[in-house]
Amino acid sequence: MAAPARLSREVPLADLLDSSLAKAVGNWQRWLSDERRCSPHTCDAYARDLDGFLRFLSGHLGGAARLGDLETLKPADFRAWLARLAGSGRKRTSTARALSVVRGFFAWLERNGLAANHAIRALRTPKIPHSVPKALTVGEAAETIDMAGTMAADDWIGLRDIAILTLLYGCGLRIAEALSLTRAEAPAGDVITVTGKGNKQRMVPILPVVRDAIDTYLNACPWRMEPGDPLFVGARGGPLRARIVQRQMQALRALLGLPETATPHALRHSFATHLLAMGGDLRSIQELLGHVSLSTTQRYTEVDAGRLLDEYRATHPRAR
């Protein structure tokens, strides 16, 4: 391949691609916003990451990039792009996200029969230092949920994953509590009844965005559910197992460069931490979480509330 050339960021991306690739990029962006329901912030961030890769690729190829070119790329070509990112001073977390976005774009191309290249699978996600608090930041939580929808082989499974992670973060549920919900218990109003440890029930307010995510998943799910059937089902229609959700979070950690503490339970932790940072009453949060002892809830006070307040703005991000 030709030696990479530095291209002006002023050149419109469409001028650096052939028409078929430019069309594919536009369709992918619409898929993110319309079908995956990523937030505008996430869509813009992903578009910038893909833009950077395709600009590099055009320079790397010495001309307008085509869909067919994507199928011929080798691991060394992708590594050259990662080296460019590293040389530009980007943080490892930012580089890890860019790689996850490009991986997601290639997966989308393959699912739609446009192009296939497995070389990108050979790349390792940059290692990220694990000096990150157990609670995710607001941005990390939102991006984790948005990215979850882009990883599934089937669209309805992606919507299911968005729904369950939105439920964990938006309502502070334990994974076992979420998976124990039945079809009849799907939220229809402003609260949801949750059965926690010791079969103790509690009422948890449910945000409209959580209810909408669950409704969208149910409308797309191909499996018929009776009222007593599990609300969340696996690919074959059986009960969704916690291990599947845990593996999903494991994959998201790798893609987004998050620490090993970014588990399904971390979304529950983040729910409580972010509410507390906004001045939420500790006793009320205790009730929402279903903690028997207030001392358990007090663990969530071990955060930098000032930092979280700056990020949190005015409301819970999933309520926007």
Whether 4 is covered by a domain: the verdict is no
Q: What is the pTM of this model?
A: 0.56
91 is catalytic: no
Whether 289 is covered by a domain: the verdict is yes
197 is catalytic: yes
Q: Is residue 294 within 8 Å of residue 283, measured between CB atoms?
A: yes
Q: Exposure pattern of 97-132 as b/e (b: 16+ CB <10 Å)?
A: bbbbbbbbbbbbbeeeebbebebbeeeebbebeeeb
Q: What angle do CA 204, 184, 243 make, to 5 degrees?
A: 75
Structure-derived torsion over alpha carbons of residues 214, 216, 217, 218, reported in degrees to the nearest 10: 90
Say yes or no: 194 and 303 in one domain: yes
174 is catalytic: yes
From start to end of the chain, where are the E strands?
Answer: 191-195, 201-205
Say yes or no: 115 and 234 in one domain: no
Using DSSP, state whether 203 is helix, strand or coil.
Answer: strand
Consecutive 10-residue runs of the chain (320 residues): their mean pLDDT? 46 82 94 84 89 91 88 92 87 85 93 91 70 71 89 89 93 90 90 81 87 95 94 94 92 87 88 78 72 62 46 47
Range of the domain at 296: 138-319
268 is catalytic: yes
When divided into structural domains, the chain yields a total of 2
* Residue 37 backbone class (left: φ over 0; alpha: ψ -120 to 50; beta: rest): left
State the pLDDT at residue 64: 87
269 is catalytic: no
pLDDT digits (tens, 9 = 90+) for 162-221: 999 999 998 889 898 999 999 999 988 888 888 887 678 888 888 899 999 999 999 999
Q: Which of 60, 268, 269, 318 is catalytic?
A: 268
46 is catalytic: no
Whether 2 is covered by a domain: the verdict is no
From start to end of 167-245, where are the E strands?
Answer: 191-195, 201-205
Q: Which of 291, 312, 316, 318 is catalytic?
A: 291
Say yes or no: 163 and 293 in one domain: yes
Whether 180 is covered by a domain: the verdict is yes
Q: Which of 74, 130, 197, 299 is catalytic?
A: 197
Q: Which of 55, 160, 174, 316 is catalytic?
A: 174
Q: Which of 300, 312, 316, 318 is catalytic?
A: 300
Whether 6 is covered by a domain: the verdict is no
